[in-house]
Structure 1
């Protein structure tokens, strides 16, 4: 393969790898008390009870979701008939919890808030809302290493990319995105030969 084609492939490969690093998946979640907004969510796991636990935080504004009301990281636990959102800010001794039972598309939520310290104020109320999921960003931008090697005079081209942590600290691997990039590079390579 001529050196010029190798350089073109290398540039294309690096562009796709860099693009893959910043590609975030999107899923829809019901988050009690929140209207559609820029939110990022990382799945922490699924319990033996079938409930999925998410770490949610303010996301990157995009499209029509240009703001976020979420003041910081919170925990969201979701199931077919349950949604629990909990937020705590130890700096201000503030805690908020919305525990919801879901039936026929309606969530009945017990909402509780407390401010500790010298103020010592608590408040609770019951709120009924329609269950409305909205798109959230998952698997945020990762801190990655990427490399590509093109050897002139041979047909061997290699590439690798390894994701270590997402922007909010949850671990994850971007193997699907990288595999897709490598497949595109292989097609481009075949077309150029």
Structure 2
């Protein structure tokens, strides 16, 4: 049996210098430079029109946000994350172009919305696209999101933080 002590220093150096690629996908999909280009270039190419699209940032599949699939009680984003996506980790990150936000889903069935990386010409995020300005891709915000949320395995943590800050006063019945 060969041990590490028996390996020559030249072989050790070759092992140390070799770069074995990570055997899984290590980046999210590339996004268009303008948010409007999704509707002009990608939406018409879909087989079935989608009312409220959500784009999976792992595999680029477009699903209909919150519409149940196959007579299931789960939404299409949750179904895609749990059963269809190549990610296989049980987490989901979707771009919701209509609301200019990301949808984060975790294994426990919880999810939350997060600010998108599309900003207007002044660098401000236009939530729900109410201002009507063209929104442009901000590489710095996207890299920060990828680094701080996805690569650091912080999707579950980010969802928990968002859910803790939301206050439910009980709805219209308690007013």
TM-score (normalised: structure 1): 0.24
Instruction: Give 1 or 2 for the bigger CA radius of gyration.
Output: 1
TM-score (normalised: structure 2): 0.26
Structure holding more helix per residue: 2
